[in-house]
Structure 1
Amino acid sequence: MFLCRSGNSQKKYSMNLCLNSLSCSEAWKHHKTVLKQFLTDFTSETSMSLALYTVLHKPIRDHIMQYILLLTKLNEVLKEGSEKDVVTSAIKEYMKLESFVSQVLDEACFTKSLWKSLGYKFTDMLCVPERRLLEDSKNLPISASTNRSDRILLFDDVLVLIQGNSFQSFDLKLVWVDENSIALSSLVSPAFFFLCPQAVWQWKLNQAVRQALNGKRDFPLWGKTGEGTEPPSCRFFTYVFKLEGKFKSATYEGEWHWGKPHGKGTLKWRDGRNHVGDFKEGLEHGFGICLVPRRSEDRYDCYKCHWYKGKMRGYGICEYGNDMVYKGYFKDNVRQGFGILENCSAEHPFKYTGQWENDKKNGYGVWEDKDRGERYIGTWLDDHKHGQGIVVTQSGVCYQRTFHADKMVGSGILLLEDDYVYEGNFTEDLTFVGKGKLSFANGFILEGTFTNKSGQGLQTHGVLNTSNEQLDDRITKAQLGLKEFPVEKRWKGIYDQFLEFIHSGCKEETEESFMGFHIQTSKELRKSQEYLFCQRYEGTEDVSWRTEDILEELVQHQGLESLPSYLEKALKSSLHPLGKLLKALTIAFQATYSGIGANKHLLTMAQEEIKYYAKKIWEFYQGLLRLALEQKGQLPANDQKACSMVLPLILPCFYPELFMLYMLYHEREDDLYCQGIMDLSLFPDIKLLEFLDVQKHLWPLKDLTLTTNQRRSLIKDKCFLSATECLQKLITTVDPREKLVILQKTYEEIESTVSRVVEKDYKLPMDDLLPLLMYVVSRAKIQHLGAEIHLIRDLMDPTNQGGLYDFLLTALEVRKCFQQLQLFWWDCFWLAEMWHGQERP
């Protein structure tokens, strides 16, 4: 037993000594003088190799043979048992060691012979002291179909293909062996194949590749039987491309699969270009960040984009070195589809939101020039304003013209802040020239020829109509862009991306490309807050929306009972496709109608745009649902005409800009209404009830058993208190449905109070309802009631027309209560003066 343990220790020592000889030889290269002196007694002028063998290898091999003989004799005398098993195992290990040493020496001899036979050209380029030949197709043909003039050499680090007077070298770390045909693939050169391979070659190639990847040789030479016979197909490696192509001279560090970059990786070029991201089958594919140096500048363009087969495609963000930022879609490396380009520098700041084609502004888009304080809404061609366009200025002036290559052509319509309307030709500085018609706010119309001479101001020759007729609302409140920009053609680039996502089968890997960055994008992108469609998931949402989960939930919540709550949840999520679509539409809407774009002449254009948003969102919901049902093998149900439920859900996103347009559109009538309300508020209940001609038997001015808010009161502003407070809630919601419910409850509160006064159920006829409603309206003091009324009327569900809601809304509309309060203003003014003891003017 002692001998066995000593034998094992000696075996390990001998094996380690042999394995370390290679690394030691590196050190001896630097001490050739000392080595030669040491070998003086063993060498002559022609036997250096023999001397090295005598000194370094023979003692070890003799030592191993002595141990094998010793252990063999010991094994013969031992009886069956555990001790004999240990000795038998030791003998096998020593025999492997002997085979290993012999094989290494044989490889050295074969390699030496190879260098002599190849000739100087190949030897000078291939000969490396540490390199060893493992197999040669000259000795063992790789397959029957291999060209006999070709020669294949398998070394321990490279595979070499010799063809005539040239050769190709393949690093074994980038060589893959196909099970069926032994396909050796690498981007160093086109793949080459060996059909009908011999089993020995296939086995040796696999082992050589695996050992090259591990960075060390197996012991025994080809590894243990059945273990590690195949190298991994996915690898991590650094390589410098040499051949012509887009990767020429680039260094790639990353994951490989079957001879091509595949997975995560980094490309670096000598000119400073860098690409970090996903690769597939040798090309950029998936999300990636690319840095491109700018010529003659020490700055970079940074592309954070999706790539498809080596080209930018889908949603991306580009931060240019000149302080511009583009957020939108790409195709074939150029901006294509919907996108936003913004100049963030202090000099000439601008922002374009709209359609792109072939890297240029083409189609419908909005341009905001912050220096000039102008916004252009219209069509583009090759980066120029071209076609119909609307220009809105910061001063409130707006005009509609035809443009050709950024220049105004033909006549147009110019709408001034004081409700002057000019129809004709005018210059870029808004000076009237040529024939035109100027309509004044007081009803006068001047029609003729206009000229503007230096030092003489504006001159005209024409006819002035002073009939003092009020301008038609169609003119004073002209709405622009309705015929010129059909709503279905605006923001087509946004819809196209979502349509493509649905047509692709809503594959999760395509969602980011079509609809914006997803939560799983790189850390580099998270540092930049330049997002278009979605925000990063910060743990604030209850559900992490995945495509398969979305389609599953669509099927589960398709019933009308649960559909509204599901749609509300989806539209509020920045990770749901419908939520991303709503976010994109919100950005487009704000780019058009916020800030400078808040102009009353754009109200109808904005209103129809929101209605169309609801229609398209409903269509995309139905498309998603049909896809989900088809994947489950179910037939889609008949399309439900329920897009009306979408509008109230999306309205909060657009309400601030939309309501501002309504306020501007109805500003004058609201001002007149507010003046009347202010004067009516001076009167106590009795005087106001008398003025409004409310029948006295309906006045709640005697002891009654009323609710808390309906209690008897002679104090000013306290009659019909519950109805007044109910109506005041009109401004607390943006949902037209909820506003109509508030009107209904206001009516019910009025009727309930009257019923308590007359001590019986009382259904108010229109003649009684109108004065009571005017009383409640005057006490509620809603500042922009006209805008509220028209917004409800324009955006309410069409199914409510002709019903109770329609009746209540009609009671508040301009032709009824609201207009009467305006017409009563002068009478209110007179009553106020009489109340204060003054005479009527």
Structure 2
Amino acid sequence: MCSLEEMTLLRLEEAFLAMLAHVGSSILQPLLLAGPEHSEPWARECLCLLQQLHRSSEQLQEVTEQSLQSLQKRLHQPCTAGLESLLMLGSADRILQVYMEYIESYTSCMVVQVFQQVAKRKSRYWRVQFGLLQKHLPGMSFEGPVDAVLAQALRQPLVQHLQQCVLLLLQLRDGLGKSHPAQELVTQAITLYGNLQSFLQQALDQATATQALWHSLSSRLKDALCTPTRRLLQDSQDVPMTATPLRAERVLLFDDALVLLQGPAVHTFDLRLLWVRPRRHECTFCVLTPEEEFSLSARDPLGRAVWQWKVSRAVSQALRGKKDFPVLGAGPAPSEPPACRSVAYTFSAEGRLCQATYEGEWCLARPHGKGTLKWPDGRHHVGNFRWGLEHGFGIYLVPKATEDQFDCYKCHWQEGSMCGYGICEYGSEEVYKGYFRAGLRHGFGVLDSAPQAPQPFRYTGHWEQDQRSGYGVQEDSSRGERYIGEWQANQRHGLGVVVTQAGVCYQGTFQADKMVGPGILLSEDDSMYEGTFTRDLTFEGKGKITFPNGFTLEGSFSSGAGRGLYTQSVLDTAALPPDPSSTHKRQLGVGALPVESRWRGVYTPFWDFAHAGCPGELQEALLGFQVQSSRELRRSQERGSPEDAAGGTEAFLEDLLRPRQPAALRRHLGEALSAAWHPLGKLLRTLMLTFQATYAGIGANKHLQGLAQEEVKQHARELWAAYRGLLQVALQHKGQALEDEDAETRDQRVHGLMLPLVLPSFYSELFTLYLLLHEREDGLYSQGISSLSVFPDTKLLELLDVHKHLWPLKDLRLTSNQRSSLVRDKCFLSATECLQKIITTVDPREKLEVLEKTYLEIEATVSRVLGREHKLPMDDLLPLLVYVVSRARIQHLGAEIHLIRDMMDPVHTGGRYDFLLTALESCYQHIQKEDVRLHRLPGHWDLRDLR
């Protein structure tokens, strides 16, 4: 059965509900009808506040009615409805929220003097209404100004009801046994309603103080500061406080802002962007804001403590967006405001951020973390900030004069300037991918012209202070030519090579974009001119022309408009035609463009990264040329670092320290070079980009084969040094040192380990150059192969003068099983199939191993024929090898042989592999001979022809 306290609570709720209804009908509804009807902003604001107060009152009535219903249900069904069914106990938080909304609405009306504005009209009407209300509000005085009576009538019922609720709940708790299951529930409700009482009293006190403040200020200051929701928390007139260096006359702390009054000037600081820091002086503390830093000084330590505590708590309140509950000073002390926050702010001080709006993360009054910065002129930066400056990855948009056109910079930043790798898409549709320093293009980079530009181009090379300077390659599609060489101030300047689609190539010294002084010009038919040129590349002065047939023309040359070429020179027809194999002597750029200094701009960022100790935050900005889109760049930045999948920077450094045998080291290097996130993999991919830019397309010219070959070898040396550099960093992290490496060991590692691993990345372009260089030889070789293919096996063996006792075929009557066996061994078929595998790999060592296995297969076949172990002398080997080569029909064998010769490990020079390669080369040269092409094979071998 219900207790006496519950019955009393029921009657209390009934009386409170009736009182709310009378207040609503006698005051709130007439207030809305009597509200200001003017169109001025203040009148509209008053009406909105009254409407909000009326809605809050209706919600309060609704929740009180629900509470009353729960009490009535408990009264009539005490067995089925426990104390937890009472709304004021089981749903106290919900009631609390409704009460607080009513309190906020009421105090807002109070602060901006809504009641005073309304009371000016129909004062006699309100006297009549007060008379009707008096019997429902006993103990309340209805004497005095109308606005004061209105304010008291709207708050008095709430104040009294909360007081009585707390008393009755205390009595209810005391009446329950200590072991009663609802004991804790009632205790929590008592605490909640007690805190609500404190909150109400604090809200009334703050509203009264705020209202008094507006009366003390001039109308101009009041208009500037007064808002319905703003509350005064502290005034320097109550607890003295001064601000330096601003010399404020008065300091006001509101629940949303700190205000300094300095004569006619008003300095308002958003509390969400205000940080408090103590000072050594016991009476002073420091205040940090986005654009100001000042000190607040009190007369004594107690005053400083009061202000610092209140400012800190107000900042915490502002960041949470609601007032403390319980009120300040009640319950456990709230935590200090966080140093890092996310708030929007518009800068007003003069400078680069003037009128810019920043929205994002802050720390100690500075943009710090991820954020967005927008300027009124349309500039837009999204990315990372550190202590107020752009730092890390960011996307920066700069509007152009033309509508809907922007320069888009997707870059890494350092202390407010672009620094490191970035992709920039200009409004002109040009695209730059490369490095920046201090906001300018600096270091290695690639610039592509607009696709529809009148003169489309691509520049791949070094930049200094936003200009092409240093070594670089530019492809001019409209002119069909490519320049490879040195630049200065956006012009070709220094040693350089030009190759054209028309087959004309020239090398010389450039000055102000024009070729000057002596140079070399190679025509499409391989004629070569060595001498001086004019700026438009016409022969001028002393020179020498060497024709493909070996004739030379040496003397003085000159030309005039429409007059052709004039010369006073000597024609030498005694020279022999040049050997096709000597075409490597006409390689351009070799020696003129030192291979060590060509792509230093690619290696420099890597070594900067290594010398810094391989920090994780720098790896993302290291050689990002394999990233093709801003989406991938941004995804990489959001992951924190692109190597997360492999465990980060520490993981790959730790992996370097694992002891490895040569085979395991080779696998490790192969995995590192193929990984897009690994520094070695990034370096290799960037080098591939430079190689393609130099030697693919227009650059695929046979006269650049030597330049490309030495470049690949140099990359292998540099990548081995890069691996050693990373290993040194890993050892330094462990407090160890890297052992020195002598030149011989280094060369063995480069040629035997690194070169075979990196060669596949450059093989396509490099082999194309070998094909072009040896095109004539391979053409003759193909004709020879075609001529030899018309002979049946036995006839060809006979014509090649292979001794018949070495033939794998005999005049026997064969059974089916024997025929199968002989077909398998027919005319060195296993050796032929083995040699054909030479084109299935790009590794020179593996190609040499294929050649060795071919030789062993030839010997094994002969040994089976003879029925004993047999070592072939040179007289027998070479004819058999010619036979195998002719039947293997390997295309471009000359290009293969020369690439193997140039790229094989020097340790094999003079050894078994060198001997076998020389033998293969001799066979290749023999097949080119005119007698072979005319089906006139020698009846006897002259070994001198094969060497």
Query: Which TM-score applies when normalising by structure 1?
Result: 0.89
**Deviations for 1:748-805, whole angstroms, at most 9, x for unmatched residues?**
0111111122222111122221222112112212221111111111111122222211
Question: 1:254-653 to 2 correspondence within 5 Å?
Answer: 254-347=360-453, 348-427=455-534, 430-471=537-578, 477-516=585-624, 523=631, 525=633, 544=646, 546-556=648-658, 558-639=660-741, 641=746, 642-644=749-751, 645-653=753-761
**Equivalent residue, structure 1, for 2:357:** 251
Deviation at 1:515, TM superposition (A): 2.6
Deviation at 1:220, TM superposition (A): 3.1
Q: Is the 8 A contact 1:388 1:402 kept in 2?
A: yes
3-state SS in 2 of match to 1:831: coil
**Equivalent residue, structure 2, for 1:203:** 309
Counterpart code for 2:709: Q
Q: Is the 8 A contact 1:710 1:753 kept in 2?
A: no
Aligned residues: 821
3-state SS in 2 of match to 1:702: coil
Compared CA separation, residues 329 and 75, structure 1 to 2 (3 A)? closer
Which of 684, 687, 694 pairs up with 2:795?
Answer: 687
Q: Is the 8 A contact 2:522 2:529 kept in 1?
A: yes
Deviation at 1:567, TM superposition (A): 0.9
Cα distance in 1 for partners of 2:144, 2:529 equals 110
Residue 826 of structure 1 pairs with residue 931 of structure 2: yes
Counterpart code for 1:374: E
**Deviations for 1:440-486, whole angstroms, at most 9, x for unmatched residues?**
11111111222334444323222111114234776774111122211
Cα distance in 2 for partners of 1:752, 1:396 equals 48
**Equivalent residue, structure 1, for 2:152:** 54
Cα distance in 2 for partners of 1:419, 1:26 equals 96
Q: Runs of 5+ in structure 1 lacking a partner?
A: 528-533, 835-841
**Equivalent residue, structure 2, for 1:130:** 229
Q: Is the 8 A contact 1:424 1:435 kept in 2?
A: yes
User: How much identity, in percent, do the aligned residues show?
Assistant: 52
Residue 218 of structure 1 pairs with residue 310 of structure 2: no
**Deviations for 1:154-200, whole angstroms, at most 9, x for unmatched residues?**
11110123456544221011112336775422213235466967433
**Equivalent residue, structure 1, for 2:135:** none
Counterpart code for 1:55: A
Deviation at 1:657, TM superposition (A): 0.8
Deviation at 1:376, TM superposition (A): 0.3
Cα distance in 2 for partners of 1:536, 1:458 equals 65
Counterpart code for 1:114: L
Q: Is the 8 A contact 1:600 1:661 kept in 2?
A: yes
Counterpart code for 1:831: R
Question: 1:3-152 to 2 correspondence within 5 Å?
Answer: 6=10, 12=96, 17-22=102-107, 36-37=121-122, 40-41=125-126, 47=145, 49-67=147-165, 93-119=192-218, 122-141=221-240, 151-152=250-251
Counterpart code for 1:140: V
Cα distance in 1 for partners of 2:866, 2:818 equals 18
**Equivalent residue, structure 2, for 1:839:** none
Compared CA separation, residues 186 and 39, structure 1 to 2 (3 A)? farther
Q: Which has the higher helix share?
A: 2
Cα distance in 1 for partners of 2:515, 2:8 equals 103
Which of 776, 788, 809 pairs up with 2:917?
Answer: 809
Cα distance in 1 for partners of 2:106, 2:433 equals 61
**Deviations for 1:35-74, whole angstroms, at most 9, x for unmatched residues?**
8447853599993552343332344334444556666778
Residue 727 of structure 1 pairs with residue 825 of structure 2: no
**Deviations for 1:384-428, whole angstroms, at most 9, x for unmatched residues?**
110111000002210002111111211211011111001123356
Cα distance in 1 for partners of 2:169, 2:903 equals 100
**Equivalent residue, structure 2, for 1:172:** 271
3-state SS in 2 of match to 1:513: coil
Q: Is the 8 A contact 2:126 2:146 kept in 1?
A: no
Counterpart code for 1:577: P
Q: Is the 8 A contact 2:473 2:694 kept in 1?
A: yes
**Deviations for 1:699-751, whole angstroms, at most 9, x for unmatched residues?**
223279999999546x9x95111111111111111111110010000000111
Compared CA separation, residues 409 and 429, structure 1 to 2 (3 A)? closer
Cα distance in 2 for partners of 1:240, 1:146 equals 23
Compared CA separation, residues 427 and 519, structure 1 to 2 (3 A)? closer
Cα distance in 1 for partners of 2:731, 2:819 equals 53
Q: Is the 8 A contact 1:441 1:476 kept in 2?
A: no
Deviation at 1:558, TM superposition (A): 4.2
Whose Rg is larger?
A: 2
Greater mean alpha carbon deviation, residues 210-219 or residues 641-650: 210-219
Q: Is the 8 A contact 1:603 1:661 kept in 2?
A: yes
Q: Is the 8 A contact 2:584 2:706 kept in 1?
A: no
Deviation at 1:548, TM superposition (A): 1.7
Compared CA separation, residues 673 and 24, structure 1 to 2 (3 A)? same
Cα distance in 1 for partners of 2:629, 2:325 equals 44
Compared CA separation, residues 26 and 690, structure 1 to 2 (3 A)? farther
Counterpart code for 2:729: L
Cα distance in 1 for partners of 2:7, 2:491 equals 94
Cα distance in 2 for partners of 1:299, 1:423 equals 50
Compared CA separation, residues 71 and 462, structure 1 to 2 (3 A)? closer
Residue 699 of structure 1 pairs with residue 699 of structure 2: no
**Deviations for 1:607-661, whole angstroms, at most 9, x for unmatched residues?**
1110111111111111111111221233334446322311111111111111111
Counterpart code for 1:786: G
3-state SS in 2 of match to 1:285: strand
Cα distance in 1 for partners of 2:347, 2:291 equals 7
Counterpart code for 1:136: D
**Equivalent residue, structure 2, for 1:838:** none
Cα distance in 2 for partners of 1:524, 1:794 equals 39
Compared CA separation, residues 62 and 752, structure 1 to 2 (3 A)? closer
Q: Is the 8 A contact 2:232 2:255 kept in 1?
A: yes
Cα distance in 2 for partners of 1:229, 1:520 equals 46
Compared CA separation, residues 169 and 26, structure 1 to 2 (3 A)? closer
Greater mean alpha carbon deviation, residues 3-12 or residues 633-642: 3-12
Compared CA separation, residues 260 and 38, structure 1 to 2 (3 A)? farther
Question: 1:707-726 to 2 correspondence within 5 Å?
Answer: 711-712=821-822, 718-726=826-834
**Equivalent residue, structure 2, for 1:530:** none
Counterpart code for 2:892: H
Cα distance in 1 for partners of 2:878, 2:644 equals 49
Cα distance in 1 for partners of 2:634, 2:152 equals 66
Greater mean alpha carbon deviation, residues 153-162 or residues 43-52: 43-52
Deviation at 1:339, TM superposition (A): 0.5
Compared CA separation, residues 194 and 619, structure 1 to 2 (3 A)? farther
3-state SS in 2 of match to 1:390: strand
Counterpart code for 1:443: G
Cα distance in 1 for partners of 2:119, 2:215 equals 28
Q: Is the 8 A contact 2:345 2:359 kept in 1?
A: yes
Cα distance in 2 for partners of 1:166, 1:740 equals 87
Q: Is the 8 A contact 1:133 1:155 kept in 2?
A: yes
Q: Is the 8 A contact 2:107 2:203 kept in 1?
A: no
Question: 1:653-692 to 2 correspondence within 5 Å?
Answer: 653-692=761-800
Counterpart code for 1:54: Q
Deviation at 1:147, TM superposition (A): 9.7
Counterpart code for 1:670: D
